[in-house]
Amino acid sequence: MSAPQELHDPHSGDEEEATMLDADEAAEEILDDDDAAMDSGDDEEADPNDDQIMQEIEIQNDSAAHFDSFKDSIFCIAQHPLLPNIIATGGSEGEDAGGVGYIFDSTPKEADTPVLPPSYQSAPSERTERKSLESLFKLEGHTDSINALTFTLPRGEVLLSGGLDGKLRAYSQKDKSGQKWAYLAEAQEVEEINWLIPCPNPAYENTVALGALDGSVWVYTVDTSSKDAPLQIVQSYFLHTVSCTAGAWSSDGKLLATVSEDGSLYVWDVFGEGAAAGLTQGEGGAYVVGLTSLDQRFAVEGGLYSVAIAPTGAFVVVGGAGGAIKVVGLPRLGGDASGAAPAGRSGAGAASKSKGGKQVGGKASGSAASAGQAGQILADLQAQGDGIETLAFAPPPLTLLAAGSVDGSIALFDSAHRFAVRRHIKEAHEEFSIVKVEFVKNSRTGGWLLTSCGMDGVVRRWDTRGGTGMANSGFVKEWKGHRGDGEGGGVLGFVQGDGTRIVTAGDDGISLIFEAPIA
């Protein structure tokens, strides 16, 4: 990526000097030099805004550093949980060229080299090209695009990649600084993987869930000490009938909620605590909540595409086509706060595969609460006009829910006051689809700050309490640098750690690093 350059009109020049050219020489230049075709064409047909558009793209780059080793789009991005400077990105090598990913250190390198003032430079007006950050490790072996990435919890010991080729590949960290990685293992049970998320349950380290194109849901655990089978299947579920579009763990990692294009929601009892408390349903007691479009109160024409579980674990929220949002109650599972593992934990292996899924087994630690409002539709929300692509809860004690829509708007609901709409930022990303919203988890902010990205190629930050920016929308700041504006340069994801540095995944094949200091 080059630093901003001055734009020059190829047709500009001195008229008097032009009349001094020999006519024969000019004719020869036009006829024999193939490069002259660059100036061919009808000047009257040229768009007078072209120069202005190009200048806008080149000049508006707020990034402090960038990574540009991709030949095609970057589809996904992940951040190490303990080393926030370590970033993984995944995407495509190009049409019919397979998938590729990279691990890199997002720390800007320019800060290491003092910049000389213009008076000390040989050519003060000359702009030099900024070098890309270097790759620490290349993720290879996928025959189609890498569509999902995640580091495992709690220490980020393993990075997993999921591809449109259906492969799940694991890479292990080899040093404390996260600078060295090595390929660990591979598994494949599905044709295409849609998403990957890490399990936060402290009793089940290095465990992840994935959703597939065929609707199936899989839970794997990674045993880095095993030479024969590092990737072990814990659970698999087969109740969604078409593509499983999104998944979310409860904050304690005991329940896994997944949604599908068929309009169904299932909240899986992955580790058996719901079954031990008598709160499960379905064949084999696979889930604690199950709703489909057969229930007209829950039906969303066009399917469901996003899901989030409240930090309290009291309810799950799903978002779908047409701006539909449903809120569903969840049972409260007991257990001590330390997250002690249920008795009898062991990898279930392939034997866990069944129509509804099979529990790992074991008795839940502690007592379980009653089912209460489990499975009840607590609210039916409709504030936006198109699909809900992303949902996020503010950190406690705040009770806000943010929803990002294909219509370019962000809606903020207050879950403590019957999900009243606190703010509807109608043109948060103009008419471009919002890809992700996420609250900043930083004790200095009070949890009010929200970050968003969209297909306009822009990252924006909002104070959800409101304010004077963009007509009291709460707008705080924006960062530009991706091509955007419908030109294949949207931001397909970002990570932000404690909020002070934002790293993006660009559809234009570039990852940008934005410094975002918090006052």
Output the six-digit token pair for 363. Answer: 């008795």
Question: pLDDT value at position 443?
Answer: 84
The answer to whether residue 414 scores a pLDDT higher than 70 is yes
What does the pLDDT read at residue 371? 52
Q: What confidence score (pLDDT) does residue 445 get? A: 85
From 10, 180, 150, select the one nearest 80 (Cα to Cα). Answer: 150
Q: What is the predicted pLDDT for the residue at 468?
A: 59
| pLDDT at residue 335 greater than cutoff 80 | no
> What pLDDT shows up at residue 282?
86
Paired tokens of 457 = 């190629």
Q: How confident is the model at residue 368 (pLDDT cuts 50, 70, 90)?
A: very low
pLDDT at 366: 30
pTM of the model: 0.81
DSSP structure string for 67-118: E---SS-EEEEEE-SS-TTEEEEEEESSTTS-EEEEEEE-S-SGGGSPPPPG
Read off the pLDDT of each residue in 130-138 and give the average, rounded to a whole number: 96
Picking from 291, 287, 236, 288, the residue whose alpha carbon sits closest to that of residue 262 is: 291
pLDDT band at 109 (very low <50, low <70, confident <90, very high): confident
Instruction: With residue 29 as reference, give the H or E element that holds it.
Output: helix 23-32
d(C-alpha 323, C-alpha 326), whole Å: 10
Residue extents of the structural domains in the chain: 74-104+134-187
Residue whose token pair is 């419908």:
486
The pLDDT value recorded for residue 483 is 86
- Among 332-346, 349-363, 450-464, where is mean pLDDT lowest? 349-363
Interatomic CA distance for residues 194 and 210, integer angstroms: 7
Confidence band for 9, pLDDT divided at 50, 70 and 90? very low
- In 356-474 the beta strands, taken as DSSP E runs, fall at 377-382, 388-393, 400-405, 410-414, 420-425, 428-431, 434-439, 449-454, 459-463
Residue 214's CB is within 10 A of a number of other CB atoms, namely 17
For residues 67 and 50, the model is more confident at: 67
Q: How confident is the model at residue 19 (pLDDT cuts 50, 70, 90)?
A: very low
User: For residue 195, what are the CA distances in angstroms to 54, 236, 439, 444?
Assistant: 35, 15, 20, 31
pLDDT tens digits along 144-184:
999 999 999 999 999 999 999 999 999 999 999 999 999 99
Token pair for residue 324? Answer: 């539909």
Q: How confident is the prediction for the chain on average, in pLDDT?
A: 83
Residue (of 263, 374, 369) closest to 328 by Cα position: 374
Pick from 401, 399, 126: which is nearest to 248 by CA? 401
Distance CA 90, CA 259 (A): 23
